[in-house]
Chains A and B, each alone.
Chain A
């Protein structure tokens, strides 16, 4: 079977898998951003118990493996009466896992906004919520965008693990084709290239574009 014939036969499955990967990635990224923002800000709260909750979340997800988390959510969580569909379990777990890493980026970026900005906002008598929302977060956002670019690629790669709870993503399809044909180089090689294109020529340029746009909006372009 030539490579062209291979693509002809299995192209459809690979495209379907790719679309599933895109869906998982987009949803996981949204979950990660939301979780990171909430946990990162909680980590900076003056109340100790609030910080404690955030710390437990962050350490729990960063201290264990994504695969373990995925299996736990999919196989053990139903015993607590929470049964998630594999699609939901997939992006939710991936998102929460990388949200824990993102929380540190949020915390670090907020902390690295110069102290003078907090003081100027206080001198203008802005309320604590407005200080954070209008003065600090916009600047922290610019600071944390580059590391978020890397994290987005990690999230994309992380979604490959949902194949192991039978979500029919690109990884899953490649494995199916491999076990049906034993054309391992073609099946896994094509998947590698597709992931590579998605990461290097879609996700990364998009994040760079966002960085440039935001930098221009604050007059640093």
Chain B
């Protein structure tokens, strides 16, 4: 399938240009269409939460942004520039490795299972990117890492390996590790799903602080409806590979328009 790329702008300009734009994005796994012609904008500094049943494609949205998955059609823009594509001779072509590396620098991600590097300490995890990718000196990187570990309340555990940390502690280190790269966009992929109930709040409070203090653009997938309602600027409900409904948390949680949204929310609330 060849796509007419002239329908997509080479870059997004103007003061109202979004930080993230999905334009007509389709993702397939074989015959299965996970995302069908998705259009979604996220403004700079906005906190958007994606909810929906499993298999609705919500995690795929984050994974495509992190370039962990290739897209089959459409274009994703980040910070005004195409992420998945690049300009060549006045038109958009698939981004090469170099382009992807440059664009990935704008984005940070936290995973459901933390994915900390087990052979490095908490501090080592947070210094790895700054030293190896950004080229910071060890001293600068350590300073930055300690500041962030302190912010997530993990400074005392700086010399521990991940295997000696609880799930909540590991996830907080993972947040510090992602922030150490100074991203403009942060992605949180079900970061509390693998945690024991009693430690969930130590992770959510870190994210809450981030939302309050920083000018980060954040995109989050979660099953914690209460948390989503409290923290988000906007909530997007995904169903079967496309956006069923979106709006402010109050609107979406308290008086959703669509029946599927109502069904999903009542099923989730019943389960908790």
Contacts and interface: CB of A to CB of B under 8 A. Distances in A.
B104 A122 contact: yes
A122 B117 CA distance: 12
Interface in A113-139: 114, 116-117, 119-127, 130, 134-135, 138-139
A218 B161 contact: yes
Nearest to A121: B117
Interface majority SS (helix, strand, loop, mixed), chain B:
loop
Interface stretch (B37-45, B126-134, B137-145): B126-134
Nearest to A214: B119
B133 A126 contact: yes
B118 A139 contact: yes
A217 interface: yes
Given A125-B129, A130-B132, A120 B116 contact: yes
A220 B118 contact: yes
A219 interface: yes
B109 interface: yes
A116 B119 contact: no
Contact of A127 (B101, B109, B111): B101
Category for how many chain A residues contact B: 20 to 34
B194 to A, nearest CB: 11
- Find the residue from A119, A122, A124, A130 having the highest chain B CB count within 10 A: A124
Interface string A196-221: 00000000000000000000011110
A138 B119 CA distance: 7
Contacts of A119: 66, 68, 111, 115
B128 A220 contact: no
Contacts of A134: 128, 132
A22 interface: no
B118 A125 contact: no
Contacts of A122: 66-68, 104
Contacts of A177: none
Contacts of B161: 218-220
- Find the residue from A122, A142, A217 having the highest chain B CB count within 10 A: A122
B94 to A, nearest CB: 16
Interface string A134-151: 110011001000000000
B121 A123 contact: no
B163 A220 contact: yes
Contacts of A135: 117, 128
Contacts of B121: 219
B164 interface: yes
A123 B118 contact: no
A148 B118 CA distance: 21
A186 B63 CA distance: 68
Nearest to B117: A135
Nearest to B97: A128
A142 B119 contact: yes
Interface string B80-113: 0000000000000000000001001101110101
A127 B101 CA distance: 8
Given A219-B121, A219-B160, A219-B163, A126 B115 contact: no
B159 to A, nearest CB: 9
Contact of B118 (A126, A127, A218): A218
Nearest to A136: B117
B132 A217 contact: no
B181 A124 contact: yes
A123 B104 CA distance: 7
A127 B66 CA distance: 15
A191 B145 CA distance: 57
Contacts of A125: 101, 104-105, 129, 133, 181
A64 B125 CA distance: 45
A153 B48 CA distance: 58
- Find the residue from A114, A123, A139 having the highest chain B CB count within 10 A: A123
Nearest to B129: A124
B27 interface: no
Given A130-B132, A134-B132, A219-B164, A123 B119 contact: no
26 contacts: A114-B115, A117-B115, A117-B117, A119-B66, A120-B111, A122-B67, A123-B68, A123-B111, A124-B128, A124-B133, A124-B178, A124-B181, A125-B104, A125-B129, A125-B133, A127-B101, A134-B128, A135-B117, A138-B119, A139-B117, A139-B119, A218-B120, A218-B161, A219-B118, A220-B161, A220-B163
Interface of A: 114, 116-117, 119-127, 130, 134-135, 138-139, 142, 217-220
Interface of B: 66-68, 101, 104-105, 107-109, 111, 113, 115-121, 128-129, 132-133, 160-164, 174, 177-178, 181
